[in-house]
Structure formats: C-alpha cells, structure tokens
Amino acid sequence: MSQKLQYIDWGLIDYKDAWEKQKVLFDALIEQKTHVGARHAPHLQQQFIVCEHPHVYTLGKSGQINNLLINDEFLKKINASYYHIERGGDITYHGPGQLVGYPILDLEQHNLSLKKYIFCLENAIIRTLSDYQIESSRIDGATGVWLDADGKTPRKICAIGVRASRSVTMHGFAFNVNTDLSYFSHINPCGFRDKGVTSLSKELQKPVDINDVKQQVFTHFQVII
C-alpha cells in the first residue's frame, strides 16, 4: 500500500472544472516524475479523488457519437451537458448520486500495467459491493463491473474509462450509488444496446450514504494496489 496516496473529496463539482483540476494534477505529476530520479519517484504525491457531477454525458476518444441518442436542444431540456474527452471507453453518464473517482497515480510505482490497474479499480468496486451482500463480476470485452453478468439480465453498476501518459493516470470510474438511472435512457451506455444499468440503491431498494461508499472504495483500493 502506498503511503503517498492522498484522499481528496471535491464534493459536487462541474465536470469541466473537475477535468481542468485533474489535468493540473496529472501534468504536475508527470513533470515531477520527469525531473526527479527513480530513487525519489516513490515520494511523489499521488491522489485518489472522489466527487459527484451535475448531469453530463462524456464520450471517450474511441466512442461513437451516435451512442448519444438526443440532440443539443434536448440536452438543455434535461439540464445536461456533453463533452468529448481523451479517456478510453465509449459514452457514459455522470450525475448527482453517482460516485466518480479520479485516481492520479504513477503506475510504475505500483508495479502495475494499465490493464492490471483497471483490474484493481474493478476489484475495489466488486469488494465494496460485497460489503452490501451484492455479488458482481466482469464481462469479457466489457470493462467495468456488472451484476448478473452471465445471466438473463446483465446490468452495469460501474463504468471505467482511463487515460495514461508516461504511466500516470487520470479519469477513472463512475459507480452508480443513488443515481437517477432515467438519464441512461438517452444513451447506449458504453456502446452497449443489449445490456442494462443499475445502482446500489436500486439493488438494495433504499438510499445509501454515498460518503460511506466513498470511504469503502478508497479503503479497498489502497489494499489492492
């Protein structure tokens, strides 16, 4: 476990503001990593950022715009915004009640490949769901965390989309806790047309304290990496 992983909670923050703040931290870590020797690199500050966003749709660099099923006028009507960004993955939704995580890490200091890092993110969510007696897993070829993955009603509860440069990460995961799932009806989530979405509160049939979930995910993630 890294002693240099700082937990930061930005609360409810506009997506563009969070994106810009992320990039400052991301660029700073790359800059520091470039100018210090390997001997000092383990002492660089790394962040595990959590937050929530107002309603917004984001499309990854390899995503298809036709997976957004509404036009600009309708976006305004539902009080949502849209951004095409540099992370991996297709289209997803962020909104109040959804736990969004932005770990800014130097993967080399954790001996992680990008693939293994994504596996760690998924594991942290899977273990958190297990805390609530909810069984979850992965689907081959579909990054993220799913319920009933091999059953008749596969549904995604956490999306993952990451960018890495010089082994430094940004973007991360979006875990549906108390999310208004109706907003997913306006997209093909992560490019899938034949699978559903769900939330922790929907599965438990009651609201969940998102601050508790934030701490649980962070705790599990620290142990895993």
Which residues are annotated as catalytic?
190
Name the residue among 127, 95, 98 with its Cα closest to residue 225: 127
In one-letter notation, the amino acid at residue 22 is Q
The closest alpha carbon to 79, from 154, 157, 15, 146, belongs to 15
What is the rounded CA–CA span in Å between residue 140 and residue 159?
14
Pairing of strands 81-84, 168-176: unpaired
Q: Where does 113-187 show beta strands of DSSP type E?
A: 137-139, 142-147, 155-165, 168-176
- Element of type H or E holding 215: helix 210-224
**CB-based contact 6:50 (threshold 8 Å):** no
Q: Angle at Cα 222 formed by Cα 181 and Cα 124, nearest 5°?
A: 30
Q: What whole-number distance in Å separates Cα of residue 63 and Cα of residue 105?
A: 24
Q: How many CA atoms lie within 13 A of 86 on its CB side?
A: 9
Sequence letter at residue 94: H
